[in-house]
Amino acid sequence: MFDQAVAFWGHHLIMVGIWLTLTLSLNLINGYCGLFSLGHQGFWAAGAYAAGATVVFLPHGTGLNWLGFVLSFGVGTFVAALFGFLVGLPCLRLKGDYLAIATLGFSEILRNVVQNCSPLGSSLGLSVPNVMRDATGKIPNYFIYIALSWGMAGLTTILLRNLVRSSHGRAIQAIRDDERAAELLGVNLTSYKVLVFTSGAGVAGLAGALFANYNSFVTLEDFNFNAGVLMVVMVVLGGMGDLLGTFLATITLYFIPVLLALWLPATRIPVFYDPTQGGVVYSEIKNLWQVLFSVLLIVVVLVRPQGILKGVTLKWPKFSK
């Protein structure tokens, strides 16, 4: 019973840390710099697959690939950052919707490439033999992974906060508010945009590396378009360019479906009428969480389009020196 609770909540705590890292890094691109990327799941996937491949293919003895495990984080970050750079460079002439489509295009291309790449497991997924597990090799050490994932999210927060509050952060936000005025104040648009894209993608890649190692299995389904949209929704609802808001929105939006699936009763209710399926179709309320979730999102967007916390004065606790 205890083990089950640890497995259930441990899993979700780890995943929230990963999602926080993803939304924080996406906030740098979308929120602070105002570049509308819809391809963050692609960088996440690039990091996960690169890390997975490192663990799988790095030569090692008969035991577990400890060296691969350690290196995989660096490789995942680097490969995703490289993709961010390569995608960012040509895409930076694009704005708004066009940039969104181009970045989405990138992540879909990446999916198709992996799908047809048998060393990476094609559509079956890549199994990543992993350390940090119990003797059976099946159960991950939840406590270590929770520490790693929240450490990663915490570090991302601190570094991102330092960046956005510096002269470079002001340049990045100036680009968001008025690109031309920023350029006329001496801001090099290209280098800052490339920097934002590359570093944002790199952090997503790090999150991917942790995901691959923790989950010990990566499939393309983990990085589908829905995941990308959910990340954007989290950033938008948290308030573009608001770190605390991103935290709250990510945690809330992550746990709502989890809790709905957990707490909604299994009672069957009629949902729609379809003569081809013999009339009224029933479904368990439990399975309707997606409908509830969508309604909730619509309500939030209607009530607070500027983000849940935007304009609310909530300050980070000050750790003054």
Partner 1 sequence: MDNSPASRAPFLVAKGLNKRFGGLAAVTAFSVSVDEGEIVGLIGPNGAGKTTVFNLLTGAYQPDTGSIHVAGVATRGLKPNRVTALGLARTFQNIRLFKDMTVLENAMTGFQTQCKSGVLSAVLKTRSHRDEEKRIRSDAQNLLELMGLAEKSQMLSGNLPYGEQRKLEIARALAAAPKVLLLDEPAAGMNDTESESLRQLLINIQTKFNVSLLVIEHDMAFVMGMVDRLLVLDHGLTIAEGTPAEIRSHPKVIEAYLGKDYAENDG
Q: Which is nearer to partner 1, 96 or 119 (CB)?
A: 96
Among 187, 201, 231, 300, contact with partner 1 (rule: CB under 8 A) = 187
User: Is residue 318 close enough to count as binding partner 1 by CB under 8 A?
Assistant: no
Among 115, 162, 226, 267, contact with partner 1 (rule: CB under 8 A) = 162
Q: For helices 2-26 and 243-263, give the axis angle rounded to 10 degrees.
A: 140
Q: Which is nearer to partner 1, 80 or 131 (CB)?
A: 80
Q: Which is nearer to partner 1, 55 or 195 (CB)?
A: 195
Binding mask 194-233 for partner 1 (x = CB under 8 A): -x--------------------------------------
Structure tokens at 280: 């009224």
DSSP structural state of residue 120: G
CB of 179 to partner 1, least distance (A): 10
Run of H or E including 88: helix 66-91
User: Is residue 35 close enough to count as binding partner 1 by CB under 8 A?
Assistant: no
**Among 116, 22, 235, CA closest to 14:** 22
Run of H or E including 269: strand 268-274
**Among 12, 8, 5, CA closest to 146:** 12
Among 186, 265, 278, 279, contact with partner 1 (rule: CB under 8 A) = 186
Listed ranges 72-80, 186-194, 280-288, 292-300: which one lies at the site for partner 1 (CB under 8 A):
186-194
Binding mask 163-182 for partner 1 (x = CB under 8 A): x--xxxxxx-xx-xxx-xxx
CB of 193 to partner 1, least distance (A): 13
User: Is residue 307 close enough to count as binding partner 1 by CB under 8 A?
Assistant: no
Contact yes or no for 254/233 (Cβ under 8 A): no
| Cβ neighbours, 10 Å, residue 21 | 28
The dihedral built from the CA positions of residue 312, 298, 233 and 251, taken in this order, carries a sign that is: positive
User: Is residue 155 close enough to count as binding partner 1 by CB under 8 A?
Assistant: no
CB of 33 to partner 1, least distance (A): 12
| Cβ neighbours, 10 Å, residue 182 | 20
| Cβ neighbours, 10 Å, residue 123 | 12
Contact yes or no for 21/152 (Cβ under 8 A): yes
CB of 18 to partner 1, least distance (A): 21
Contact yes or no for 230/294 (Cβ under 8 A): no
CB of 300 to partner 1, least distance (A): 21
Q: Which is nearer to partner 1, 111 or 193 (CB)?
A: 193
Structure tokens at 281: 């179709």
CB of 304 to partner 1, least distance (A): 17
Structure tokens at 82: 């490289």
Q: Looking at the DSSP assignment, which residues form a beta bridge with residue 280?
A: 273
CB of 205 to partner 1, least distance (A): 17
Q: Which is nearer to partner 1, 4 or 313 (CB)?
A: 313
Q: Which residues bind partner 1 (CB under 8 A)?
A: 159, 162-163, 166-171, 173-174, 176-178, 180-189, 195, 241
